[in-house]
Structure 1
Amino acid sequence: MLRITFTPQDLARTRIAATWGPLAETLHAATTLQQPHGRAMFDGWRQDARTRAPVSARAASSLFRETIVDLFTVTGAAPSFEEGIEALRAAPADLLRAELEGAAEARARYSRRTAPWPGLAWGDVAHDRADREELLGFLRDVHGTAVAPHWQRITSRLRAEQTRHALRLAQDGPEAMLAGLAPEFRWKPPVLEIGRGALAGTVELKGRGLLLVPSAFCQTRPGTYTDALDEQAPVLLFLPVVRRLTDAAALLTTSRQGIDSALSALLGRTRARTLHAVGDGPCTTGQLAERIRASQPTASEQAAVLRRAGLITTTRRGSAVLHTLAPLGDAMLNGHHFPA
């Protein structure tokens, strides 16, 4: 079990972000892609990605086997994939080397394996330009085959997750937000306990605060990460949003033409699109309007029809309302009522 200890200053500095950027998700995906014993809900996504391109054949793939290499702390948050790639290309050699050595130490400590980690023996991405370019090429392959085809749906879901927690933070405070995390995150003031396969140990924030970041592909043992360049920056903790098979189906499946056609025939194209938008994650009426590219009155009208049909639910949080997929709407989106 991992325990994160908060001071009053840490609680005051605790925040929720939408994403650390597409490069960070790609780095997580590179690890999740190569975990044959990982969560079964990712099996369809893995098979699809491997069919598109055999990324595991690239030499740099050995860096991401059995452990997470948190190069996202070296590059920092990057709003676009290309910006992240350029930040990694320009990263100081000593920072990269320290991260790789730290990953090797963590693998030995937590997996209790004495065999050398193949990632460290593959090449010198810290000092050798060709090896670093090989790493960047590998990440481009992973992004193009495993992340980019789903990125629009993923970002919508990550923003919705941020909105849900941010509303709780604004209305009820940081302790209420921490108490409302997923079941494996347990708030026992002043400690946040993380179970279900988390790393073991205690992390003291020491006034830095905690930055929670939703992630679609972070499925490795939960742990905290610190900024490689700023010791005063908040500690980073990723929150997995793919928790069920329905989550994986909604975010990481591309072959849904049969279901989509049936939904459009039954509901009409606009309402089917609205149902899909809510299925990407809880959202306010304004966010729903943005997702379906319509005015707020139109989005509100479509949501009302779906709510009356029992496909979505709407709850009020202060001055805002939050639309969430109902079990019937979830079943329809995942094809239980329509043959593909």
Structure 2
Amino acid sequence: MGVRIHFSGDDLRKVTIARQSPLMWEIERSLRALQLRDSGAATAPWQAWARLRLPRSAHHLLTLVPPSGPCPDFLSPIEAEPGLESGLERVLSTPRSLLSRDMGQLAERRRLPLWARELGRGSPLVLRALERAMRDYHQAVIQPVHRRLTADLETVVGGLTQTLSRQGLDALLASLHPSIRWNPPVLDVSHELFDQDVHLDGWGLHLVPSFFTPTNAFCVNHTPPMTVVFPILPIEPWRPGPGPGRTHAADTLAALLGGRRAMLLRAIAATDGITTTRLAATAALAPSTVSHHTAALRHAGLITTHRTGTSVRHGTTPLGLDLLRAQPSGIA
């Protein structure tokens, strides 16, 4: 199952990398990550911190955005410019016909409360409440980590751009994420719900890294270029910080292992079976540096390493998982 993206010669010359992930997309993806039972070691500290800070008004958003499966398209407009104000303007100016379509599709899958049905009718009162909920949510759990996300994204995008310039397009497309396979001229994006072939025919491909996309990449293909959003990991581990009723605490895992090894251990746990190449691309480190750190983690009994064909893959041992579970939650 998945979306098979077929490239033409023109499309191979039209591959671009986003400098930032659209904010409204990240809000929608973070709402999903917030509700997952197992969000992965990379985002679990943020999830625990965000749940403590979730404002009451934002609970309505959880009705609209489930942890998996479709949600209303109007909440994450493709054409929105960066920034909260422009994104909210696009959401609030959604034509009533599209509100009715999106909320009708949601009602086919679940029973909706009265306010959600009124949203589908374009109720100004409900739209204002939706705006307040999205503002409160952004202020509580996205804005406090915005600077951190921006810095990490710049590092990741720099690594991807470096791979493209030094090793070429094949190396870039082959190292994006385990859920993406590059079999020239087809990019196979695995997905549990979709099974289709898409021919770009000159559209080109736009790659969007995302911190809050927890497991699999996904495609957005309403308008050109074809957009593929794929998960990336924090460059450094989320550092525990104060939440309601909590005091600031140190990152004990980083103190024990070192920042890079702690980050790599979390990355391996989040995507069990990850390759050395993928780890290097994610962490923006040289493969030789990653191999040095994974050797130390393996000797400590925290990970296992095995070869599959030409790839070397890493997995987390029970001891490594226990060590991760023992970490405090929260975000600085």
TM-score bucket (shorter structure): 0.5 to 0.7
Q: By how many angstroms is 1:206 displaced?
A: 2.7
Correspondence for 2:90 among 87, 91, 94 = 87
Instruction: For residue 36 of structure 1, give the secondary structure of its aligned residue in structure 2.
Output: coil
Q: By how many angstroms is 1:100 displaced?
A: 4.3
Give the Cα separation in 1 of the matches to 2:135 and 2:291.
34
Q: Are residues 198 and 188 of structure 1, via their aligned partners in 2, closer, same or farther at CA, if it must alter by over 3 Å?
A: farther
Instruction: For residue 77 of structure 2, give the secondary structure of its aligned residue in structure 1.
Output: helix
Q: By how many angstroms is 1:220 displaced?
A: 6.3
Give the Cα separation in 1 of the matches to 2:192 and 2:293.
28
Q: Are residues 75 and 131 of structure 1, via their aligned partners in 2, closer, same or farther at CA, if it must alter by over 3 Å?
A: farther
CA contact (8 A) 2:72 2:102 kept: yes
**Counterpart of 2:16?**
15
Q: Which amino acid aligns with 1:123?
A: R
**Counterpart of 2:230?**
239
**Counterpart of 1:136?**
131
Give the Cα separation in 2 of the matches to 1:166 and 1:34.
32
Q: Are residues 205 and 125 of structure 1, via their aligned partners in 2, closer, same or farther at CA, if it must alter by over 3 Å?
A: farther
Q: By how many angstroms is 1:155 displaced?
A: 1.2
Q: Are residues 118 and 45 of structure 1, via their aligned partners in 2, closer, same or farther at CA, if it must alter by over 3 Å?
A: farther
Q: Are residues 257 and 208 of structure 1, via their aligned partners in 2, closer, same or farther at CA, if it must alter by over 3 Å?
A: same
Instruction: For residue 160 of structure 1, give the secondary structure of its aligned residue in structure 2.
Output: helix
Q: Which amino acid aligns with 2:119?
A: V
Q: Show CA shifts across 1:68-104 (max 9, x none).
A: 44436525243222221222222333344444456x4
12-21 vs 115-124, which moves further: 115-124
- Written as runs of structure 1 = structure 2, the 5 A alignment for 1:35-184 is 35-36=36-37, 38-39=39-40, 41-55=42-56, 58-65=59-66, 66-67=68-69, 68-71=71-74, 74=77, 76-101=79-104, 104=106, 115-116=109-110, 118=112, 122-125=116-119, 127-184=122-179
Instruction: For residue 18 of structure 1, give the secondary structure of its aligned residue in structure 2.
Output: coil
Q: Are residues 43 and 119 of structure 1, via their aligned partners in 2, closer, same or farther at CA, if it must alter by over 3 Å?
A: farther
Q: Are residues 40 and 165 of structure 1, via their aligned partners in 2, closer, same or farther at CA, if it must alter by over 3 Å?
A: closer
Give the Cα separation in 1 of the matches to 2:114 and 2:7.
34
Give the Cα separation in 2 of the matches to 1:150 and 1:10.
35
Give the Cα separation in 2 of the matches to 1:237 and 1:57.
28
Q: Are residues 188 and 85 of structure 1, via their aligned partners in 2, closer, same or farther at CA, if it must alter by over 3 Å?
A: same
Q: By how many angstroms is 1:315 displaced?
A: 5.2
Give the Cα separation in 2 of the matches to 1:199 and 1:149.
35
**Counterpart of 1:289?**
none
Q: Are residues 258 and 64 of structure 1, via their aligned partners in 2, closer, same or farther at CA, if it must alter by over 3 Å?
A: closer
| Alignment size in residue pairs | 273
Q: Are residues 187 and 96 of structure 1, via their aligned partners in 2, closer, same or farther at CA, if it must alter by over 3 Å?
A: same
Q: Are residues 234 and 180 of structure 1, via their aligned partners in 2, closer, same or farther at CA, if it must alter by over 3 Å?
A: same
**Counterpart of 1:300?**
none
Q: By how many angstroms is 1:225 displaced?
A: 1.1
Q: By how many angstroms is 1:234 displaced?
A: 0.6
**Counterpart of 2:278?**
none
**What is the TM-score when the length of structure 1 is the normalising length?**
0.64
Q: Which amino acid aligns with 2:229?
A: F
CA contact (8 A) 1:29 1:146 kept: no
Q: Which amino acid aligns with 2:110?
A: P
Q: Relative to total residues, which structure has the larger helix share, 1 or 2?
A: 1
Instruction: For residue 259 of structure 1, give the secondary structure of its aligned residue in structure 2.
Output: coil
**Counterpart of 1:4?**
5
Instruction: For residue 186 of structure 1, give the secondary structure of its aligned residue in structure 2.
Output: strand
Instruction: For residue 74 of structure 1, give the secondary structure of its aligned residue in structure 2.
Output: coil
**Counterpart of 1:204?**
199
**Counterpart of 2:27?**
26
**Counterpart of 1:218?**
213
Q: By how many angstroms is 1:34 displaced?
A: 2.2
CA contact (8 A) 1:211 1:237 kept: yes
Q: By how many angstroms is 1:241 displaced?
A: 0.8
193-202 vs 209-218, which moves further: 193-202
Q: Show CA shifts across 1:293-322 (max 9, x none).
A: xxxxxxxxxxxxxxxxxxx99759xxxxxx
**What is the TM-score when the length of structure 2 is the normalising length?**
0.65
Q: Which amino acid aligns with 1:116?
A: R
Q: By how many angstroms is 1:120 displaced?
A: 9.8
Q: Are residues 219 and 93 of structure 1, via their aligned partners in 2, closer, same or farther at CA, if it must alter by over 3 Å?
A: farther
